[in-house]
Structure 1
Amino acid sequence: MMIWRIHLYVLVAFVQVFVISALTNSVDQSGLQALRNIWTNVPPNWVGADPCGNRWDGISCTNNRVVSITLASINLNGQLSGDIARLSELQILDLSYNKGMTGPLPSGIGDMQKLTRLILVGCGFSGPIPPSIGSLQNLIDLSLNSNNFIGEIPPSIGGLSNLYWLDLADNRLSGTIPVSNGTRPGLDMLVNTKHFHFGKNQLSGEIPSQLFNSNLTLIHLLLENNQLTGNIPSTLGRVRTLEVVRLDRNSLSGSVPGNINNLTSVQELFLANNRLTGPLPDLTGMNLLNYVDMSNNSFDATDSPPWFSSLQSLTSLIMDNTQIQGQLPMSMFSHFQLQTVLLGNPICNEGGTESYCTIPRQSNSSYSTPPQNCTPLPCTSDRTSSPTCTCAYPYTGTLFFRAPSFSNFGNSTIFASLEQQLMATFRSHSLPADSVSVSNPTKNMDDYLVLSLQIFPSGQDYFNHTGISGIGFMLSNQTFKPPPGFGPFFFIGNSYAYFAGLNARSRKSVSTGVIIGAVVGGAVLFLLLLLAGVYAFRQKRRAETANKKSDPFASWDPNTNSGGVPQLKGARSFSFEELKKSTNNFSETNDVGSGGYGKVYRGTLSNGQLVAVKRAQQGSTQGGLEFKTEIELLSRVHHKNVVSLVGFCFEHGEQMLVYEYIANGTLKDSLSGTSMFYLFEFLISSISLPDHNKGYKLSTIVAGRTGIRLDWMRRLRIALGAAKGLQYLHDLANPPIIHRDIKSTNILLDERLTAKVADFGLSKLMGESERGHVTTQVKGTMGYLDPEYYMTNQLTEKSDVYSFGVLLFELLTARNPIEKGKYIVREVKIAMDTSKDMYNLQGILDPIVASSMSSKSVEQFVDLAFRCVQESGASRPTMSEVVKEIENIMELAGLNPNTESATTSASYEEASKGFNHPYSNEGLFAYSANYSPSKVEPK
């Protein structure tokens, strides 16, 4: 009995260790769950909350972190959302051969710093390639070929120093080939890259001579079928590692560089279908050449050059319409394997009937892999007989060889060697392939060799998802190396038919003995697991009890509002699905901003209300208690000068806040463009204007620069609105709220330019027990931080007053609080002379403020700003006093403080594209630095 108990304890401990070790990292788990929510046709075992422990098909993990996603040819549908960036340990992403994967690549993909292979071959992705890909410093393989990408090749790719394989072929890329210029990287910097595959795009302009240098280690240069013009640069001759060069089907002109025969390692050379002129290039010394095609150019008429017969490795010499005349040397005919085509040349136009003048190129063959010493069986319509004469569901697709060295497709030995090499690769990687069949070799219009490929399963009549993923990945990441002569290739796989349910019930029956054995064994295992489960359940209950003490959401049921539901006033709880639908699956087109917290999306609720959904990224989320406290605080803040909270979401590991959508961005956005080059433009453009028109010209320039002209009167109204919002938090909210992060990016402007205080991520409540201050860790934003709060750790309402004072200086100067190491408060203080008009500050004030007709109001505004930034909090005014003072300043300027702005922002030729959205700045969920003394700017 004692031994049985020992064994039981050991088993329970083992089960516990196994369960714990199987738990997927929570960040990775939430990222995969988010992707699963927007993808269809995912593998059937993508269930539960433990991708690593449950061994989701296509997912590989190390130490409970997701390191690989390989999901080829499973008919996957959806978009690659920004959620992929949550998988920070991901090294391999291969979604090849899924045409249903569409839409743009998220810019956040550049955050996946561990990524080594990004392979998206044969999908339906579109839009420009995001420049952020240039941040993936560990990337070795970048294969984006056979999609619908548009735009230019991002120059940032030139910064990928570890890149080995670069394939952007068969898209709709345009523009020139980027090279470095001292301020940006370019493809000439990719000295470790072996493959430039850019064929079948719309690239234009000249091939930059700077692209090639002796440091490059390229072996494949494929630029065929683009719109390139100009000469072939002579620098090409410096890249002596090249083995395949395809420049055909462009509009290249001029002579072929004389040093091209420096490329002694080149085996395939394609220069056909250009506008090349001058002498036929001399290829003497290029002794490894197998295939040469210079057809359809305008070379000078010439006799057959000596290298025609001196290159002993030649198997194909294609020289249609290249002005060859005279007689071919007899030595050429000693090369029994050489196929020569000279159609359209004088040498044939003179009545020649030789084979090279009359026999067309052989471009196809009826070859198909024969049975392996067996008789093929009749199979049902949904299965195919394999070379080993078994009926099965093959994985099918097409192999494209971009530069084959042979033209004769009737030689079965060539294709037999390809089949053998394929099977050898499958076996060396332990992939479940029984046999392969290739058929219908054809040369297409691009001079690619095209082959149909079937791969048959071993051990059963179908592949599982793991088998398809493994085979697809082997072909997409170029693990398979074809035999010599086939050259570079790519594969386009078809969706695996078996996964669509074809004859899914044709699995082998299980014998009765096996069933009985499985039942008995299962019963024993069930009893053992039941005992282990009881023990684990008791341990889990203890852990849950402890968690509920610290997590107010632990017992909260959003459907019944039971448990620790937040006490909300006027805000509601949204489901993840509601917000996902309102933002179009959190699409990039709805992305209106981002920051350290995550991203913000524009959304439309089912009732038509426009909202901003702020979605925290994993790693920047708060604890449950902090999140609950924050939404409770926001839900009871209701004032026209404070941004309203519509609701929140706390599901699937997500923390999202839903705000009212503010149309005109942040105060920072509207101030940032008003002074840039403004004075110079004003002086130049107003020279010829009458004096009475100069003010009009000035306002026109400013409005054109920012879309919204913030004249002095509007700045006063914005200051008053922000002050009233802050006064409400201090004096009327119950309990009072200290904002703790007042700055121009947290003051938003609605369609009537009404100022609204936003972002309560750092806010603190003033409880009844606190006597005038809260002792707390120092947090805030550089340049706005109250030095007294920093020195004492005692936060008061006067800390907000200090930050508001800095905001007033921003309104006056349109400058950042700290700019080029200079603190704006100190700079104004140094320049200030109270004995002169406008305190002698015209040189530091924003030109719009300096041109104000009410200089006295500007002076009083400066006085107020300095009172707000006094060293001692006791010397600063309260926000209610600030409000009264701004109202007095407005009256002095002839403005009624009790009326709203009469004009909406729509009348200012609003250029909404010109500024970032208000929520794009560090807001709720924002990272806040803990400042050291060296970070506090002296006054």
Structure 2
Amino acid sequence: MGGRTGTLLPLLLLFMQYLVIPLTANDDFNGLLSLQDELKNTPNWKASADPCDNWEGIRCTNSRVTSLILTSMNLMGKLSSEISQLSELQTLDLSYNKNITGQLPSSIGNLTNLINLNLIGCSFSGSIPDTIGNLQQLITLSLNNNSFSGRIPTSIGRLSNLYWLDLAENQLDGPLPVSDGNTPGLDMLVKAKHFHLEKNKFSGKIPSELFSSNMVLIHLLLSSNFLTGNIPETLGSVTHLEVIRFDRNSLSGPVPSNLNDLVNVNELYLSNNMLTGPIPDLTGMNNLHYVDMSNNSFDEFDFPPWISSLESLTTLMMENTHCQGEVPVNLFSLTNLQTVVLRNNRLNGTLDIGTTYSNQLQLIDLQNNSIESFTTRAKGYDKKLILVENPLCENKVESYCMVPQSKNTSTFSTLPNNCEPVNCNLDQDSSPNCKCAYPYKGTLFFRAPSFSDLGNPSYYIDIQGSLMKFAQSHKLPVDSVSISNLFKDSSENLEMSIQVFPSGQDRFNRTGISNIGFVLSNQTFKPPDKFGPFYFKAMPYGPFSEEYIESKKQSSIGVIIGAAIGGTVLLLLLLLAGFYAFHQKRRAERASDQLHPFARWDPNNGSGGVPQLKGARCFSFEELKKYTNKFSEENSIGSGGYGKVYLGTLPTGQLIAIKRAQKESMQGGLEFKTEIELLSRVHHKNLVSLVGFCFDQGEQMLVYEYVPNGSLKDNLSGKSGFRLDWMRRLKIALGAARGLAYLHELANPPIIHRDIKSTNILLDEHLNAKVSDFGLSKPMGEGEKGHVSTQVKGTMGYMDPEYYMTQQLTEKSDVYSFGVVMLELITARMPIERGKYIVRVVQTAIDRTKDLYNLQEILDPTISLQTSLKGLEKFVDLAMRCVEELGGNRPAMGDVVKEIENVMHMVGLNPNAESASTSASYEDVSKGNSGHPYNNEDFKYSGSFPTSKTDHQ
């Protein structure tokens, strides 16, 4: 009996083995079919075939699916929870599919063999599931550029093998989790070299427990969050660190004295915080390339001598740091030095840059200091030198006493490789090897480059060469790589557009695209050291896009129709004759359009005739389509009820912002023409400049100069990552007031803006204010010096009550709106918030017998924490005069400018220098006069009102 059992047992095990293998492989099959059910545009997988038999995007080991890579496939839909059936999966990469939405299923935690999880640039939302902590083998976790919200799950701390953690550019909030004995935290990730957590909403202190000497972190990126408190001293124990970005938070207190123990750090960003105490001593940090400590509240200090010993330094940014004394001459002899920005400090004496200054030195910016002279040796310096707003520039018109147009861009663009450029179809591009093809496009974002000289082409040739060399060594089907559109964004990231062209054909297949996307998403490609950490954002690949597929369908339909009628020779001849006539007509129309660029502006369609332009250019639709990469989502930088705003680049390298109206929200022709005409003839540094417009192919587009730092509203709310201190807010108020005063008093004819609000005040790279959006503006013609009778238009919360009630528009209506903006500047509250109208809230809270007029409870916490708010009371007094009920009691904008200048003199600011809550009692405005405009939340109003006084009661 025992012998028979011994014989049967091996046979039974063999039978079970054959039984189990198909069952587990079948799980893979079912999991992939479930994935295909939830996601559109997956590859054309064969339902009856083995997934390991050359299915696109699939790689197998021992007949099990171990890799699923579908980058840049234009996938649409949600990720199925049945993904968990792929139990042997080691790599999952669905990056660069922006139409994958919904939550990341908690069943992802069942993929316990997963090593690489890359979901970059999708549209996942909701919380990161706690089950992520089950993926004990995980080495790479890249969830950046999504819309994840909620807190970082503490279970991530259990990923003991994690090397790369990237959660940047989401909506994550709460504190940074650390272990407490019962729950894990980020401090347990001792093998991780990369913490990329920037551009979220993290708050609270940076825990001291987060750092320890057994960590091997090299990149610590926490910029653009809401972190507060001190920088912990334990940071000094993480001696492997190479890049630190703490900028654009609300960190306070002194910088820990042991910071200079981090001798391997190359890039150090501490700017735009509220750091105090002595300037940190960085002696011994000889690997430092890039140092930015701007816009903090350090104690007054003489220029530190240790800076001149940092032999690797390329960039020194110390704007607005309370630095005083003379700039030492030996600073400029640092061999690698490229940029020195020390504006808005208290530097004095004589500037001497010596005769042995670095041959790489491109910019010395010392504007708004107290420098009295400079040596003749400095006069030989022929790069950018800015000394405006120093005593030595009084009554001088030297080039260094003027502010040059800021240019944080590079005009570099890959040139043809010794070949004759070719003309390609509109949907194709010419490669550096002069071949027409469909390139794979996207943007590389370098998070902490070690250089600031964007004009050095050798840098970009290096990275272009390294991309090509990498593609060849990994046998990717790449013919050539092109680079263009290089610029520094508002977060100090270096952006560059890349185009990767296919080899041997005019387009990539899905496998080629997936492989290229994967090496960029999984950080397999390593750029030259000078570029530092990066991430990639891909554009939808043309041949996989809906537009391309739809155009092919239309093309097929056209072929069928042509075949159906092709047999009728007579009809064909008639069609040819008709086509010829139409073609001749179109040629004549194009010639006419070139001579009369506004010929198609319909004067009988309510537009009032051809606009009278001064210096603005008329763009064609095709031109703007080219400058914006076909209005791609990658170039979209904003949106509103009117439509979208796109970032574009002119052939000259100039960045532009293109405001494209959507069909259903186009302005009337008259309003569109008004905005063009007004913007084309007003020129002031505090007004957004109009570059041109497009009124072509049924489109209405306005082309403005690009203003990089967004609206005042975004900056007050913290969305931009900047923290505006009291002095900056005064400068912004002054800039906006000057722009309005120009419109009222110097424009010919005078102009009433009619829609002044914080979203229509933009901030440039130096945080100077620029007034924008002239769509509702009204010029004051002859005989209209007192007022204009007009339909009431504007935005609730900012609208002048007198104008609302009488329909009599005056310059004082803008003054009222500006007064509301002034109150926003000190409170960071919306004009109407939870039924409370900001004017009434401030009026009720003011007590002029008390310090700061008793407004501490309603001040923006960002400025209420400052030790000195000198001039606040006078600023509030001016704001309250601007919002007087009767226009006659309000000051003119010219007087507003003078009074803000006086406030700035009080706090020791030069008004001509370039810049850079709890409830309170209130009057319930929902009661009483129902005709008052501030009963509802903020919205733009355009309509008729009764004029009889009794109709409002």
Give TM-score scaled by structure 2 length.
0.50
Distance 1:364 1:251, change over 3 A: same
Q: For the Cα contact (< 8 Å) 1:42–1:76, is it kept in 2?
A: yes
Distance 1:107 1:321, change over 3 A: same
Cα distance in 2 for residues equivalent to 1:357 and 1:410: 22
Say whether 1:389 aligns with 2:434: yes
| SS at 2:536 equivalent | strand
Cα distance in 2 for residues equivalent to 1:343 and 1:357: 9
Deviation at 1:23, TM superposition (A): 11
Deviation at 1:75, TM superposition (A): 0.7
Q: For the Cα contact (< 8 Å) 2:52–2:65, is it kept in 1?
A: no
Say whether 1:208 aligns with 2:243: no
Cα distance in 2 for residues equivalent to 1:23 and 1:189: 38
What is the 5 A alignment of 1:444-593?
A: 444-500=489-545, 501=548
Match of 1:429 in 2: 474
Say whether 1:260 aligns with 2:305: no
What is the 5 A alignment of 1:286-685?
A: 286-335=285-334, 337-338=336-337, 339-347=339-347, 348=366, 349-351=369-371, 355=385, 357=387, 362-500=407-545, 501=548
Q: For the Cα contact (< 8 Å) 2:52–2:64, is it kept in 1?
A: no
| SS at 1:25 equivalent | helix
| SS at 2:40 equivalent | coil
Deviations 1:149-189 (A, max 9, x none): 00000111011010000000000000000000001111101
Cα distance in 2 for residues equivalent to 1:161 and 1:336: 42
Match of 1:156 in 2: 155
Q: For the Cα contact (< 8 Å) 1:22–1:50, is it kept in 2?
A: no
Distance 1:352 1:296, change over 3 A: farther
Match of 1:170 in 2: 169
Match of 1:138 in 2: 137
Cα distance in 2 for residues equivalent to 1:101 and 1:64: 28
Cα distance in 2 for residues equivalent to 1:174 and 1:166: 16
Greater RCO (Cα-Cα under 8 Å, separation 6 or more): 1
Match of 1:39 in 2: 39
Say whether 1:228 aligns with 2:227: yes
| SS at 2:409 equivalent | coil
Cα distance in 2 for residues equivalent to 1:65 and 1:117: 17
Cα distance in 1 for residues equivalent to 2:110 and 2:259: 41
Q: For the Cα contact (< 8 Å) 2:89–2:114, is it kept in 1?
A: yes
Deviations 1:358-411 (A, max 9, x none): 677751111111111112111111110001111110000111111111111110
Cα distance in 2 for residues equivalent to 1:321 and 1:352: 19
Q: For the Cα contact (< 8 Å) 1:173–1:203, is it kept in 2?
A: yes
| SS at 1:485 equivalent | helix
| SS at 1:118 equivalent | strand
Say whether 1:92 aligns with 2:102: no
Cα distance in 1 for residues equivalent to 2:492 and 2:162: 28
> Between Structure 1 and Structure 2, whose CA radius of gyration is higher?
1
Distance 1:298 1:385, change over 3 A: same
Write the letter of the residue equivalent to 1:385.
S
Write the letter of the residue equivalent to 2:221.
L
Count residues in correspondence: 487
| SS at 2:183 equivalent | coil
Deviation at 1:499, TM superposition (A): 2.0
Q: For the Cα contact (< 8 Å) 1:362–1:409, is it kept in 2?
A: no
Q: For the Cα contact (< 8 Å) 1:23–1:53, is it kept in 2?
A: no
Distance 1:352 1:170, change over 3 A: farther
Match of 1:709 in 2: none
What is the 5 A alignment of 1:115-130?
A: 115-130=114-129
Cα distance in 2 for residues equivalent to 1:307 and 1:431: 48
Distance 1:198 1:434, change over 3 A: same
- Which stretch of the first structure deviates more once superposed, 65-74 or 141-150? 65-74
Write the letter of the residue equivalent to 1:38.
E
Cα distance in 2 for residues equivalent to 1:271 and 1:357: 25
Cα distance in 2 for residues equivalent to 1:22 and 1:384: 47
Deviation at 1:48, TM superposition (A): 2.1
Deviation at 1:336, TM superposition (A): 5.1
Write the letter of the residue equivalent to 1:293.
D
Deviations 1:629-668 (A, max 9, x none): xxxxxxxxxxxxxxxxxxxxxxxxxxxxxxxxxxxxxxxx
Cα distance in 2 for residues equivalent to 1:101 and 1:453: 23
Distance 1:227 1:33, change over 3 A: same
Distance 1:356 1:219, change over 3 A: farther
| SS at 1:93 equivalent | strand
| SS at 1:420 equivalent | helix
Match of 1:576 in 2: none
Match of 2:702 in 1: none
The unaligned stretches of length 5 or more in structure 2 are 1-19, 348-365, 375-384, 389-402, 554-953
Distance 1:290 1:362, change over 3 A: farther
Deviation at 1:504, TM superposition (A): 7.0
Cα distance in 2 for residues equivalent to 1:393 and 1:335: 45
Q: For the Cα contact (< 8 Å) 1:29–1:49, is it kept in 2?
A: no
Deviations 1:164-223 (A, max 9, x none): 000000000000000000011111011000000000000000000000000000000000
The unaligned stretches of length 5 or more in structure 1 are 1-19, 506-939
Distance 1:465 1:253, change over 3 A: same
Deviations 1:809-843 (A, max 9, x none): xxxxxxxxxxxxxxxxxxxxxxxxxxxxxxxxxxx
Q: For the Cα contact (< 8 Å) 1:110–1:134, is it kept in 2?
A: yes
Q: For the Cα contact (< 8 Å) 1:107–1:132, is it kept in 2?
A: yes
Say whether 1:72 aligns with 2:92: no
Write the letter of the residue equivalent to 1:165.
W
| SS at 2:408 equivalent | coil
Write the letter of the residue equivalent to 2:122.
C
Write the letter of the residue equivalent to 2:137.
N
Deviation at 1:429, TM superposition (A): 1.1
Q: For the Cα contact (< 8 Å) 1:125–1:148, is it kept in 2?
A: yes
Cα distance in 2 for residues equivalent to 1:222 and 1:53: 40
Distance 1:23 1:471, change over 3 A: farther
Say whether 1:112 aligns with 2:114: no
Distance 1:22 1:439, change over 3 A: farther
Distance 1:130 1:447, change over 3 A: same
Distance 1:155 1:244, change over 3 A: same
Cα distance in 2 for residues equivalent to 1:382 and 1:421: 27
Deviation at 1:352, TM superposition (A): 5.5
Write the letter of the residue equivalent to 2:509.
N
Match of 2:26 in 1: 26
Deviation at 1:21, TM superposition (A): 11
Cα distance in 2 for residues equivalent to 1:189 and 1:495: 38
Cα distance in 1 for residues equivalent to 2:291 and 2:457: 23
Distance 1:111 1:459, change over 3 A: same
- Which stretch of the first structure deviates more once superposed, 323-332 or 352-361? 352-361
Q: For the Cα contact (< 8 Å) 2:52–2:59, is it kept in 1?
A: no
Deviation at 1:225, TM superposition (A): 0.1
Distance 1:53 1:275, change over 3 A: closer
Q: For the Cα contact (< 8 Å) 1:226–1:250, is it kept in 2?
A: yes
Q: For the Cα contact (< 8 Å) 1:51–1:59, is it kept in 2?
A: no
Write the letter of the residue equivalent to 2:64.
R
| SS at 1:108 equivalent | helix
Deviation at 1:351, TM superposition (A): 3.9
| SS at 2:36 equivalent | helix
Cα distance in 1 for residues equivalent to 2:23 and 2:504: 32
Write the letter of the residue equivalent to 1:402.
R
